[in-house]
Structure 1
Amino acid sequence: MDRSGLIEAIGRKTAGGGGLPDDGIGRVVDALFGTVAEPGVIAEALKEGRAVTLVGFGSFHDVGGEASLRPGKALNEFVQDRTG
């Protein structure tokens, strides 16, 4: 899934709650993950030596100078289809 696909999927997921405009979703995605020109909040936190933890999803860490995602239990169980 690329950036456009992610924005469309988020739009579908949030449609029941009044929905969010695609440009607003795009700004949130860019703020979180960053762009070529600007780092996102995850990258900035890692550069400052902090981890970013999203409960259920996982945590982003700096491991030897490289960004790494340590998946959370809920994400692993969903991907491995153990959520029932």
Structure 2
Amino acid sequence: MDKSQLSQMTARRAADAPDGGPLDTDDIGRILDLLFGTVEQAGAIAEALKAQETVTLGSFGSFRADDGTVTFRPGTALTEYLRDQTR
């Protein structure tokens, strides 16, 4: 799945959510760029990692940088979902 497909899927899910409203795919793409970065500009996650901060995204998981290498540790909810063990 590329960024465009992820943006489209997110827009569909937002439109279907009972507590939300429609989101524009271009705005979602812009948010992804701001979070994860582009070739031209680092995103908020990269900036935090470079500052030696751990980035925790709730039950999704966390990113951490050690000696220039980034590691991702999935959260419990993501792990359970991928193993079909959701509560």
For residue 84 of structure 2, what is the amino acid of its counterpart? D
TM-fit CA distance, 1:34: 0.6
**What is the TM-score with the length of structure 1 in the denominator?**
0.93
Unaligned segments of structure 2, at least 5 residues: none
TM-fit CA distance, 1:24: 0.7
- Corresponding residue of 1:6: 6
Encode CA deviations 1:3-62: one digit per residue, 9 max, x unaligned. Answer: 111101111111132211111111101001111111110000000010110110000100
Aligned residues between the structures: 84
- Corresponding residue of 2:75: 72
Unaligned segments of structure 1, at least 5 residues: none
Q: Distance in 2 between matches of 1:18 and 1:58?
A: 26
Give the ranges of 4+ consecutive aligned residues of structure 1 lying more than 4 Å apart after TM superposition: none
TM-fit CA distance, 1:67: 1.2
Give the counterpart of 1:46 among 49, 52, 68: 49
Overall identity of the aligned pairs, in %: 50
**What is the TM-score with the length of structure 2 in the denominator?**
0.90
For residue 6 of structure 1, what is the amino acid of its counterpart? L
DSSP-derived class of the 1:18 partner: coil
DSSP-derived class of the 1:26 partner: helix
Give the counterpart of 2:33 among 30, 33, 42: 30
